[in-house]
A and B are shown apart, each in its own frame.
Chain A
Amino acid sequence: MATMTRLQVLDPTVQPIPQHAVIAARPDTLDGVSIGLLANGKPNSEELLEMVREVLADRYEFGEVIARNKGNASRPCPGDILDDLVERCDVVITSSGD
């Protein structure tokens, strides 16, 4: 029996460049921890993060709260803001939405 010729085609997609990152160690408690609040520049993102802070503040006593706003929701967070949060915070809470 003749072998059927198969139709070979090429994959049109591109996979992301693999990035290797290590998950940061999680604190056992938020007591005494420095908290960062990173808003994404959209309306109400700061208000949402403040509400989250208030809820958590009922249960924990934070060391320090640092609130930053990346300003432009459509571009990655500027490096200087990230550096500031990494330096000063143990945990950062961010918001993503429209």
Chain B
Amino acid sequence: MATVTANPLTSDRLSFDDSAEVHAAFMDRGWTDGLPIVPPTPERVGLFLEHASRSPSEIIGAEPTKGRVITAEKVAINAVMAGCLPEYLPVVLAAVEAISEPEFNLHAVSVSTMGAAVLTVVNGPIAKELSIRSGVDIFGPGNRANATIGRAISLVMSNTTGATGDLDKATLGHAGKYTWCIAEAEDVSPWEPLHVERGFSADQSTVTVFPGLSPIQVGLPDTTRPELILAAFGDALFASGPGHDEILVVLSPEGLGHIRSAGWSKERVKQALFEAGRRKASAWAAAGAGVVSEDPDETVGVANSASSITLIVAGGAAGGACVVVPLWGSGANSVPKTKEIKSG
């Protein structure tokens, strides 16, 4: 049983006869994602905050455009609703800190017609400690940590930033808006993981948040040659349009295996992907991308440079599916952010 916290919970309290009434009321108020939630009782919320050693009133983030301040209490309430275990709360808190960074442009990401969702990539020891899936069916259902951490972040966005049905004008959106949380397969990848690339040590645990548009699946060719495997990403990259400061590629183990056998470095892979995404200006114009250069023969890239490609390894061991994840704002109008996870 949770003990009384030194700082009391201050959210408004509502009383219902039973959990069915809670579900119905929360649905009517637009406080859910359309799925049933775990009723956020004061006892459950207090337990989560005590487990993470966080004060309810601690300010985790803010969305200044709509004048919202997000406290640890509010994050914990939505984490309970999502079905999280108490030990998942530090991951959710770190993700909310990350999406609150001004450069991430949370307001625009959450209401844009382009329909972005927050993709949370977890790195470091906490992924295994919490059994956050990095392998088979990584974007699919069935794993509690992936499903509920991602869902908690989505519920925080819709419930605490005002980005509800009235303001969220996504034309289509995509399923990642329900939940989208994965771990990078660090033990499969031969390269330094995402968080080490971003300046953290391997033994630190982090989240990186991306404003992800609908993933574009790539089918790999029947070859062991790395240059042909990476050339196969060309059309999926082309579909993302020109001029990205950052774009995400998820390379699954089967494709990675041939590349690793050939001894390619991560930088060499990024360079090949960068080149696979380059087209003549005339080709961009013919595809409806407008005039990207006065010279129709000038080659213009999907990515502005090889370092604009963010590459992670994840997915099941069998099968040649990989994805390109275009980012809302092309890595410029919304910049992906990495935050350390502070455990309780």
A residues near B (Cβ < 8 Å) are 4, 6-14, 16-17, 19, 72, 74-76, 98
Within 8 A of A (CB), among B161-218: 161-162, 169
B113 at interface by CB-CB < 8 Å: yes
B residues near A (Cβ < 8 Å) are 9, 11-19, 21-22, 31, 39-42, 45, 65-70, 73-74, 77-78, 81, 105, 107-108, 112-113, 155, 159-162, 169, 329, 333
Most B CB contacts (10 A, CB to CB) among A4, A7, A16, A98 go to A7
Q: Given that A12-B77, A17-B69 are contacting pairs, would A4 and B17 also be in contact in the complex, using a CB cutoff of 8 Å?
A: yes
* 23 pairs from A and B in contact (CB 8 Å cutoff): A7-B19, A7-B21, A8-B13, A9-B13, A9-B14, A9-B16, A9-B22, A9-B40, A10-B9, A11-B11, A11-B13, A12-B40, A12-B74, A12-B81, A13-B31, A13-B160, A14-B68, A14-B69, A14-B70, A16-B68, A74-B107, A74-B112, A75-B108
CB distance from B252 to the nearest CB of A (A): 32
* Residue in contact with B31 in the complex, picked from A4, A12, A16, A75, CB distance below 8 Å: A12
Across the two chains, which residue of chain B brings its CB closest to A4? B17
**When chains A and B are docked, how far (Å) is the Cα of A23 from the Cα of B67?**
19
Secondary structure of the A contact surface, majority rule: loop
| CB atoms of A74 and B105 under 8 A apart | yes
Across the two chains, which residue of chain B brings its CB closest to A76? B65
Contacts of A14 in B (CB 8 A): 68-70, 74, 159-162
**When chains A and B are docked, how far (Å) is the Cα of A17 from the Cα of B69?**
8
Across the two chains, which residue of chain A brings its CB closest to B16? A7
Contacts of B12 in A (CB 8 A): 10-11
| CB atoms of A9 and B31 under 8 A apart | no
Contacts of A7 in B (CB 8 A): 15-19, 21-22, 39, 41
